[in-house]
Amino acid sequence: MAAFFLFVALVPLVLVLVLTIFAFTRRSKGCRNLPPGSLGWPIMGETLEFLFGKPEKFVFERMNKYSPDVFKTKILGEETAVLCGPGGHKFLFSNEQKLFTAFRPHSMQKIFRSYRAAAPPAQLPTDEVAKTLRSPGFLKPEVLVRYLGKMDSITQQELEIQWEGKEVVKASSFAKTLTLRLAFRFFLGSDDPQFIARLVGSFDDITMGMHSIPVNFPGTIFYKASKAAAGIRRELRKTIQEKKAAMATGATMQDILSHMIAVTDPSGKYMPEAEIVDKIMGLLVAGYSTVATAMTFFMKYVGERPDIYEKIFAEQMEVSASKKPGEELDWVDIQKMKYSWNAINEVMRLTPPLQGTFREALTDFTFAGYTIPKGWKIYWTVSSTNKNSEFFPEPEKFDPSRYDDANAFPPFTFVPFGGGARMCPGKEYARLAILTFVHNVVKRFEWEVVLPTEKIVGDMMPTPQKGLPIRLRHH
């Protein structure tokens, strides 16, 4: 009798498994000229290898096994074609909105859940916010330059608060706190250092959860991200109410949050508060993790290369010598920091702050002789070129001089901010924030990395496991 009940209990599970495998194989055979590759296990596909293996290892192994141009896989629940190499980058960037539309993984859609009622599921705050930012020109250089002085003063304050008088500090935690403070000041017009420092852990949780298996169970990465997002929403609603009250008094506001509160659509309706919250949260996340990662690994790579530090120091001292005492950085100063920006480019090549993004095929299309069906997801990744010795000799070597010659490597081989119509709208903001940090930290300190072999964890948001402790030497 017990065996009978066990059989009855297992029948539904077996039926679901059989139907899943049938649907899986039927979809796979629906198009005869699919790219080579493997869709992995039913349902899960190759998600675990994608999330928990090194990004370049995942890509390079399949490029070598299947095709250097394109391969198929299944990740985060989606049948996906990975376009590789400069040819893949160029094809993708040239066909935005023609063949492709934006897509974000289900985990990301659910974290930004309140906004889904106002937009198609494929849209996310980061896509819509890009439009919001571009229309009034918040991220144009001529607008950003007005914020440069504030970036400079905030960076100096954080260095004085966190590093002055100390011998050993953690570069990663500093970079995160500084970056989040800059983002709050720029996007929200808010600057409360203690309050912002308390939110760093929540933003880390969200960033890790955006590319995760969307299982909302205590202990999972996605559960922590959802909980953190709910907490940040509560704080942002308070900030919005405070901002509305200040605006009602006639106070002049020039930050992005104020613009979102005041803007109306063609019918005269104001943006719903839930939509504002999710857009601002998307902006803060985008302006936080990538910039903080670049700053952190600048400290690592330059700390391990005193010869490169000396070149950056000489350049920054030239900038400093042209300033009056107490004078803040300006646009002309930033343009002088060519070698420093070359070093940052090399940091982003070796440890990309952004591993890649997804698109969705709007129609069947052909690439490299293979057909990718409508509805499939397209994954664009820097991993197919950044460490390819064909384009970057000695790819593991930290060498800022690679960028001295603009024609040193083929077009579309180094694209840390993407390209085409969807190039990261915050590229110039990131450049100003990072170079302002470089200028101030190099002026004040020399440093050495305490743990050169420290493990790097979190492949979608690379982070030194122990926070990258560095030993400071004050100038």
Q: Read out DSSP for 137-172?
A: TTTSHHHHHHHHHHHHHHHHHHHHHHTTT-SEEEHH
Instruction: Quickly list H helices, 218-364.
Output: 221-248, 256-262, 273-303, 306-321, 331-335, 338-350
Higher pLDDT, 353 or 143: 353
- CA gap 121, 94 in Å, rounded: 24
pLDDT band at 122 (very low <50, low <70, confident <90, very high): very low
Cα separation of 261 and 240, whole Å?
A: 8
Ramachandran quadrant class, 420 (left: phi over 0; alpha: psi -120 to 50; beta: rest): left
Average pLDDT over residues 117-145: 55
Alpha-carbon span 188 to 113, nearest angstrom? 21
Contact assessment for residue 37 and residue 62, using Cβ atoms and an 8 Å cutoff: yes
Q: Is the pLDDT of residue 19 over 70?
A: no
pLDDT at 427 (0 to 100): 87
Q: Tell me, what CATH number does 296's domain have?
A: 1.10.630.10
Please tell me whether residues 279 and 307 are part of one structural domain: yes
Q: Are 471 and 167 in contact (CB under 8 A)?
A: yes
Q: Quick check: 255 pLDDT over 50?
A: yes
Residues 343 and 386 reside in one and the same domain: yes
pLDDT value at 200 more than 80? yes
Output the pLDDT for position 423.
73
What does the pLDDT look like over 64-115, one tens digit per residue? 999 999 999 999 899 999 999 999 999 999 998 899 998 988 888 888 864 4
Reduced 3-state DSSP string for 304-340: CCHHHHHHHHHHHHHHHHCCCCCCCCCHHHHHCCHHH
Q: How many domains does the chain have?
A: 2
pLDDT tens-digit series, residues 227-254: 999 999 999 999 999 999 989 888 878 7
Residue 119: is its pLDDT beyond 90?
A: no
DSSP sequence for 442-453: HHHEEEEES-TT
Same domain, yes or no: 209 and 65: yes
- Which pLDDT value is given to residue 13? 42
- Whether 129 and 7 map to the same domain: the answer is no
∠ at Cα 277 (275, 283), nearest 5°? Answer: 100
Place of tokens 């390209």: 419
Same domain membership, residue 239 and residue 120: yes
* Enclosing domain of residue 12: 1-29
In terms of pLDDT, which residue wins out, 306 or 12? 306
317 and 197 belong to one structural domain = yes
Shared-domain flag, residues 330 and 232: yes
Q: What is the mean pLDDT of the chain?
A: 86
pTM, 2 dp: 0.87
**Angle value at C-alpha 203, between 464 and 139, nearest 5 degrees:** 100
Q: Please enumerate in sequence order all residues whose Cβ is within 8 A of that of 315, keeping only pairs 6 or more positions apart, or say none.
A: 336, 337, 338, 339, 340
Tell me, yes or no, whether 7 and 81 share the same domain: no
381 forms beta bridges with: 356
Looking at the structure, tell me whether residues 314 and 187 fall in a common domain.
Answer: yes
Indicate if 128 and 202 belong to the same structural domain.
yes
Q: Are 284 and 203 in contact (CB under 8 A)?
A: yes
- Give the angle 149-239-131 at the CA atoms, nearest 5°: 70
Same-domain pairing of 223 and 324: yes
Provide the pLDDT for residue 192: 86
User: What is the CA angle 315-140-185, rounded to 5?
Assistant: 80
What pLDDT is stored for residue 125 in this prediction?
Answer: 43
Same domain, 249 and 398: yes
What's the token pair of residue 108? 């990301």
